């Protein structure tokens, strides 16, 4: 005589989702169909999530890492605002020294914000050790304290060339950092900062690339609008470039602060889920052991 064994409760974790459509690897083009989202390409080792699968938010990262990003973001934001204010006031040694200190604060914060991480989620958002944009954004930021320190020195022959070179490197540093932080904002699920960083980056490119071409075009406007219209357009683009970056930094810093709380909640949810899973496994084992033979 046989007895039916009671059904044991199933696992609380759903089965891993695998792709059923053709999903080429972002690096080598290998078909990743049938692999789980957390898998890596068998050919080159690139994380599968980099090809467009669902990305976990930054709140799923270790809280210690998010706290580090939060502190670095606020430090960079404060340094940026202080440097901008001191530059506008300018005119004496105290303000120039303040700019140097603020530039060092910005560079330190930016150095932490561009540190590489080995996790697939981090790599998919531009934090891989070999990511060109991240590395460029990281090392180009040292131009700011160097430039600020140079301004404290007495005039020397050829300093105009040095300033011109600093402007070029500074523009590249700003663009690289804006597009890198845009990816960080996307990871933090901050659409406001993501759009603002993108606006800064693309409007800056328009000014840098199309700026020399705007003069002749605006001068050709009829009814004497060339001078006034050109001034309004240039000032408008400059205002977008100047204001959108600190606004995006402030928004990103707030989002990272919230992400710390969300990370704690995520860990607590995982703990409760694992506890329920252990209880379910124990109940299943008890039922199987108590079943008649």
Place of tokens 């001034």: 231
Q: Are 30 and 50 in contact (CB under 8 A)?
A: no
Residue 40 has a pLDDT of 76
Residue 74: name the closest of 259, 257, 244 by CA. Answer: 257
Buried b (16+ CB within 10 A) or exposed e, 74-106: bbbbbbbebbeebbeeeeeeeebebbbebbbbb
d(CA 114, CA 118): 13
What was the pLDDT predicted at 48?
A: 59
What is the pLDDT, as a whole number, of residue 50? 46
Q: Please choose, from the candidates 177, 175, 180, the residue with its C-alpha nearest in 3D space to the C-alpha of residue 207.
A: 175
Nearest to 81 by CA among 102, 97, 111, 96: 102
Virtual CA dihedral for 82, 84, 87, 92, nearest 10 degrees? -10
pLDDT of 232 reads 63
Paired strand residues for 47: 40
**E strand residue ranges, 179-283:** none
Mean pLDDT in consecutive groups of 10 residues from the start of the chain, 293 residues: 47 52 62 73 66 67 94 97 90 89 97 93 90 96 94 85 90 95 95 94 81 61 52 65 90 94 84 82 77 61
Q: What is the pLDDT of residues 168-216, one digit of tens each?
A: 999 999 999 999 999 999 999 999 999 999 999 988 887 777 666 666 6
């Amino acid at each position: 005589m046989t007895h039916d064994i009671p059904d044991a409760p199933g696992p609380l974790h759903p089965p891993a989702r695998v792709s059923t459509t053709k999903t080429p690897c972002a690096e080598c083009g290998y078909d990743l169909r049938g692999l789980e989202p957390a898998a890596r390409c068998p050919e080159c080792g690139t994380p599968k999530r980099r090809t467009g699968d669902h990305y976990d938010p930054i709140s799923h990262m270790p809280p210690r890492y998010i706290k580090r990003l939060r502190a670095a973001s606020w430090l960079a934001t404060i340094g940026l605002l202080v440097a901008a204010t001191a530059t506008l006031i300018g005119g004496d040694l105290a303000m120039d020294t303040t700019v140097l200190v603020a530039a060092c604060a910005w560079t330190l914060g930016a150095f932490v914000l561009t540190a590489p991480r080995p996790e697939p989620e981090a790599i998919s958002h531009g934090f891989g050790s070999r990511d060109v944009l991240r590395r460029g954004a990281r090392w180009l930021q040292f131009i700011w304290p160097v430039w600020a320190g140079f301004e404290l020195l007495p005039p020397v022959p050829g300093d105009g060339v040095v300033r011109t070179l600093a402007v070029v490197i500074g523009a590249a540093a700003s663009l690289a950092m804006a597009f890198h932080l845009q990816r960080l904002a996307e990871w933090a699920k901050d659409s406001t900062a993501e759009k603002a960083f993108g606006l800064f980056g693309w409007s800056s490119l328009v000014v840098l690339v199309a700026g020399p071409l705007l003069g002749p075009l605006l001068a050709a406007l009829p009814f004497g609008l060339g001078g006034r219209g050109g001034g309004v357009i240039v000032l408008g683009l400059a205002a977008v470039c100047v204001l959108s970056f600190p606004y995006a930094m402030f928004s990103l810093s707030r989002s990272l602060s919230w992400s710390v709380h969300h990370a704690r909640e995520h860990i607590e949810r995982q703990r409760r889920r694992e506890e329920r899973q252990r209880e379910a496994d124990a109940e299943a084992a008890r039922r199987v052991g108590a079943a008649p033979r």
